[in-house]
Structure 1
């Protein structure tokens, strides 16, 4: 028995360094990864998580240092290691025009799974992932969660001993994330080595161990609980706030006693620099009834602390933008409006008689599981898709009648990176500013401003498709707001980015809202939903709940509970609707 097997370590990493041209991606990593647990790799954008995954999978050769996976070198012993290793990259290579079964057939061929073992594997994996009902469905028509389950099934063909999952839950709703986590947890309990990189810190809390990385260095290895315990007494809520909670958050983030803060319904959740050392409430302008209470720390608090604190609460972008002005003829209480909005695709109803109104300077969130109808509703509100019936208006303009006129009033940031990946950052900025009608000196000034605001100077000549994810999001936002629109439509704007980048993004959004910009957003990050003034929860094409974040949580809170998370509320409201639907079907 080799030393790795005896010690219970499946992967050992010694003095590992990797360099791309003049950029050092990994700096002298020393760590080990145990069998039978899920080890989470967490860190901000550019920390080296994906590079480490690719080195473990044998897709890159390290500049120096060693990796041993089950006692084998991923490079020198590649043929012996390959059957023992399953690797699911961020963009897993499903063939979208092939069915679920055809994708499984293809990957079984690639992994040389044949005969009786092949059919047995298919049967087990289809049952495990609950995809047996969908074997004839093209992969491209699966929801985001189902695609990830199919990717996992393909990765598990051949029964690997080590499973490498690079951000498997990006773009997946909370229900599908929990299902995916449960499946992978069962594999770990059976003795499989699982390495799961993630930008969801609540997900990382569930791991047996975490590796926290930053700028290519290992900042922490150990259990999430031990790291969380360090933050005891430093995680607090500010409750009883009077006035504008965004303004109070901005003041709190300026206070030297605070290193991080987010909105949480009508309260603020703050991380203190030192335990029990609070900022003066009168400085925060939070009102006479505002008060602090200590709350249970989270892994995200410790993550932000290790990285030196959050990005602060002041937006350079918002400082640069003028006040958003409305035409006097536009009703400020109905800047965005949907009435009985319906969209059919053949017999399938994607959006079913949806109603809502959004006020000027409000953030309105559309939440819902993958495939619920959010993106279809969103596209109709942007004039990208015509409703089958009902109507949608922005700034009083009917999108069915004057879609192009309406689109000039809004900025749109798509769910998937929609810029031109083969054009440089600078070329994208000039192209999109030109589309929005900017010319000559005004165009040059705006491009220069966006480069400065979003720190894009080092990437001006980089193809947009090669940017780190956080900078892709910055570029996409800059291209969406160059014409200084009074409306901003954001479809999953922060999918896959780390908490610090998300905070920076929402600082900009909060700042724009202060300038009167109206925002409509979809998100799978339930803590982000707390930033919304109101939420519409969409499921099976219908609105099943609507209200403030706190109102939605109250709807789902059980009698013996004092407080639940937004994620708990989301899942319970969807499950309640399913139960009501089943009961209605039985009654009929």
Structure 2
């Protein structure tokens, strides 16, 4: 097929004193397929997207999109290209249909064509029953569907999607992928930018980027095949799997590793050259087994390996001791926890206990009630009924006292965007009561551990996403909390940054810090000691990651992934609720 997008020798520089954001970049995108644009935070994906969309004029190079020069033919380009940026501009105080009308006006879609496209898009996205709902009341997945519908008005030839899967649950991500695949099969050229390599692995072709350059362009399978014999699983571990991972990442034969349930998944520097099992101290039953490589393995290899497994932050942090009157088996506790908003029950009689030094995960679809549950456990939202306690403190009667004991990192970046990094650090240190030399020492430690030195005078709103997350975590840890609440802490960040983040979390847990985390990224859920799956306000399953996976395993799916477990358990609950309704 002909190239719908053709880019040659592209360079872009934002500041004459700085380096190139994009350097000597070539790219081809054909019709009828999804082309993935993948790379770490700051690789240049969004800059490239904006150039293709005609919103940014490249410094040098030749760019043609649908046969048009994006700068010289901007008006015609905007009629033929649909662009959905990371933060699509939905009007939250308008309904679904009002947003569609607004974007139809902007794209000059009128008359019979307008009504026909509304009907088609509402059916395509399953938003037909929700036309009168305010956009601000939609779940994250439904907002992305509405954003896609608005982008498709006018039937563009080219669809540019900048990280559409960020912040949505696995079910919504699969639905979004299904819709976009249908568009590509119909002949549309699609570019899907992502920091999630599992998304990029599904694309017909990929462009892997790093530091403004293309490091690979071609079929994902080409990179996956290159890693044969280098992806292994350490199973049968006895003892602490986090410690096994740390030891493995210190071995010269290993370039990367992650936790996968009760096992540890490693990437080798060379095929079949294994670390000595004895050096991992994984127990007498531990065994190596080869597993299918992933695109993420190849990408980490291209970058020269992952960040290792040790945390400078944890090395600089003391032991988190509990007061003598706190039960270490119930540091965080929910009993029949319920929250109602009018007639709607967001959290419905949820109960669980979290032990000291445990990572406890809350997962569930968008709108399922996990964030409501999470906010009640942080003392940010009062329960309608039931009990929520942290370290024995009743969050109904003493929420402010409880909050002094915990660190909280919000789902949406909650720092002050108009303050610099240094000012944010000083402000949060002051909130937690740090003064004088103690404040200076703690801020210096956070700057060193999270490598924030070069950004100290930068407004936090202008930071790359990975550094925004680092700063948010630094501020949450300023007072050495014994409990850490993390709401979607790595949403949208690249694999390397995600590993760095979990190195810190694992290291803090070793010091006795107790962690509660929400996530939509199922590979991340594998790091949790136990998980609660929340759906329609209820806790429909709980247990270790391997427990949940085993519940959906069968002859057709003998080794389910965490994502398979997530979807399978929800589908099973839907079926049970349907049966009960009929009875």
Same fold, judged at TM 0.5 (above): yes
Give aligned pairs, total. Answer: 581
When residues 561 and 153 of structure 1 are mapped into structure 2, their CA distance, relative to the original with a 3 A threshold, is closer
The alignment partner of 1:310 has SS state of coil
Counterparts of 1:147 and 1:395, CA distance in 2: 37
Asked if structure 1 preserves the Cα contact closer than 8 Å seen for 2:35 and 2:207, the reply is yes
What are the Cα deviations for residues 158-199 of structure 1, in whole angstroms up to 9, with x where unaligned?
000000000001000000000000000000000000000011
In the alignment, is residue 15 of structure 1 matched against residue 9 of structure 2?
yes
Q: Match for residue 471 of structure 2?
A: 475
Which among 437, 441, 463 is matched to residue 441 of structure 1?
Answer: 437
Structure 2 unpaired stretches of 5+: none
CA distance in 1, matches of 2:579, 2:195: 38
Which residue does 1:292 correspond to in 2? 288
**Change in 2 beyond 3 A, CA 1:395/1:229:** same
2:427 is aligned to 431
Looking at structure 2, the residues matched to 106 and 533 of structure 1 have their Cα atoms a distance apart, in angstroms, of: 47
Aligned-partner Cα distance in 1 for 2:450–2:307: 13
User: Cα deviation per residue 1:282-325 (whole Å; 9 max; x = unaligned)?
Assistant: 01111111110000001110111111111000000000111001
1:24: how far off?
A: 1.5
Counterpart contact for 2:54–2:77, Cα < 8 Å: no
Q: State the 1:560 CA deviation.
A: 4.7
1:326-356 deviation line (CA, Å, top 9, x unaligned): 0000000000000000000000000000000
TM-score relative to the length of structure 2: 0.99
Please give the per-residue CA displacement for 1:357-384, whole angstroms capped at 9, x wherever unaligned.
0000000000000000010000000000
Q: CA deviation at 1:70?
A: 1.3
> What is the SS of the residue equivalent to 1:74?
coil
Cα distance in 2 for partners of 1:510, 1:70 equals: 48
Q: Distance in 2 between matches of 1:207 and 1:51?
A: 21
Q: Matched residues in 1 for 2:426 and 2:309: separation? A: 29
Q: What TM-score do you get using the length of structure 1 for normalisation? A: 0.98
- 1: distance between equivalents of 2:558 and 2:285? 20
Q: Which runs of 5+ in 1 are unaligned?
A: 1-6
Work out whether 1:216 is the aligned partner of 2:215: no
356, 362, 372: which one aligns with 1:360: 356
Q: What whole-Å deviation, never above 9, does each CA across 1:422-457 have from its counterpart, x for those lacking one?
A: 100000000000000000110011111111111101
Tell me the equivalent position of 1:4: none
In 1, distance between residues paired with 2:10 and 2:349?
A: 56
SS across alignment from 2:13: strand
Q: Helix, strand or coil for the counterpart of 1:556?
A: coil
Call closer, same or farther: CA 1:425–1:259 in 2, change over 3 Å. same
Runs of 4+ with deviation above 3 angstroms = none
The separation in 2 between residues aligned to 1:391 and 1:410, in whole angstroms, is 18
CA distance in 2, matches of 1:110, 1:301: 43
SS of corresponding position for 2:387: strand
Q: Distance in 1 between matches of 2:43 and 2:580?
A: 50
* Aligned mates of 1:511, 1:585 — CA distance in 2: 47
Matched, 1:264 2:242: no
State the secondary structure of the residue aligned to 1:360.
coil
**Does the alignment pair 1:31 with 2:27?**
yes
5 Å-filtered alignment, 1:54-203, equals 54-203=50-199
Question: Contact between 2:8 and 2:26, CA under 8 Å: does it hold in 1?
Answer: yes
Question: Residues of 2 paired with 1:301 and 1:295: CA distance?
Answer: 11
State which of 240, 247, 255 in structure 2 corresponds to 1:251: 247
Inter-partner Cα distance in structure 2 for 1:344 and 1:211: 46
SS in 1 for 2:228: coil
* d(CA) in 2 for partners of 1:560, 1:222: 31
- 1:366-385 matched pairs, under 5 angstroms: 366-385=362-381
Q: Which of 566, 570, 578 does residue 570 from structure 1 map onto?
A: 566
Instruction: State the superposition RMSD in angstroms.
Output: 0.6
